[in-house]
Amino acid sequence: MKCRSTTAARPARRSRSRFRCLAPAALCCALCLPSVGCRSVAIPEEHYYRLDLGALPAVADAHKPPAGVLRVEGFDVAASLSTDRLLVASTPVQLRAYEFHRWLNPLGQLVRDAVVTGLSRTGAFAEVKSPTDAPGEDWSLSGRIVDFHQVVHQGGGWAARVTMRLRLWSPARGALLLQQELSRQVPVNGSEPAALAAALSEALVQVLQGFAEKCVQARVFAVPGPR
């Protein structure tokens, strides 16, 4: 019995010995293969975009231009837009995101900074402030971004849609002067995401122009008194 037991055990020891010799070689191959494969895989390049509103047309009544200070507050963003990627609405209920094409900053901040810069260039106000500037303003502009994406154009092709709820507030009166929801669509001239960013910029300009016209019609821009 002892001989049989000894003889049967010997092959098992040789098998384990061979396994110990093969294991390091197999591990080496497993570590080397991914590194070889990585050399042949191209890493996708990230692309980042901003908005450019240029110089917006003056938002004032030509006979009674505002000479006061406007503060542009932050803009809330709808939950469906809470991403840094450019979006496409293929249907009214389905949104898809462009891979590797992103906004340079969070959308609310991006829109706010573009509006501050665009309105400042109009010369319609003595000063246009951001939320971080020193206190003291005659009007306060805020709102919510409802739509900010690519959609199917009615005549075929694609369009950029911007929908915003805008509010103009008078701190001196403690009163809401005007609240309006406006939506604009601009055709996207091209298939690249950069063309979408440009079209969204133009659609945002048209939304602000529409709101400015409402303000002028309602005569909410009174010449401010001393603060």
pLDDT in tens, 167-207: 999 999 999 999 999 999 999 998 899 999 999 999 999 99
Q: Under 8 Å CB-to-CB from 23, ≥6 apart: which residues?
A: none
Residue 125: what pLDDT?
Answer: 82
Q: What is the pLDDT of residue 91?
A: 86
User: CA 110 to CA 72: how far, in whole Å?
Assistant: 12
Q: What is the mean pLDDT of the chain?
A: 81
Cα(217)–Cα(211) distance, integer angstroms: 10
Instruction: Report d(CA 75, CA 70) in Å as an integer.
Output: 15
Q: Which is nearest to 90 in space by CA: 47, 146, 48, 153?
A: 153
The band of 30, judged by pLDDT with boundaries at 50, 70 and 90, is very low
User: Worst-scoring range by mean pLDDT, 65-69, 85-89, 149-153?
Assistant: 65-69
Residues 186 and 202 sit within 8 Å (Cβ to Cβ): yes
Q: Considering only CA atoms, which of 148, 150, 76 is closest in space to residue 108?
A: 76
* Share above pLDDT 70 across residues of the chain, in percent, rounded to a whole number: 74
pLDDT of residue 104: 94
Question: Which has more confidence, 225 or 144?
Answer: 144
pTM of the model: 0.75
Q: Give the span between the Cα atoms of 16 and 7, in whole angstroms.
A: 15
Res. 213 pLDDT band, cuts 50 70 90: confident
* More confident position, 216 or 77: 77
Is the pLDDT confidence value at 33 over 50?
no
- pLDDT tops 90 at residue 35: no
pLDDT tens readout for residues 116-138: 988 888 777 889 999 999 999 99
Give the pLDDT of residue 63: 47
Over 70: is that where the pLDDT of 18 sits? no
Residue 169: strand, helix, or coil: strand
Query: How much is the pLDDT for 203?
Result: 95
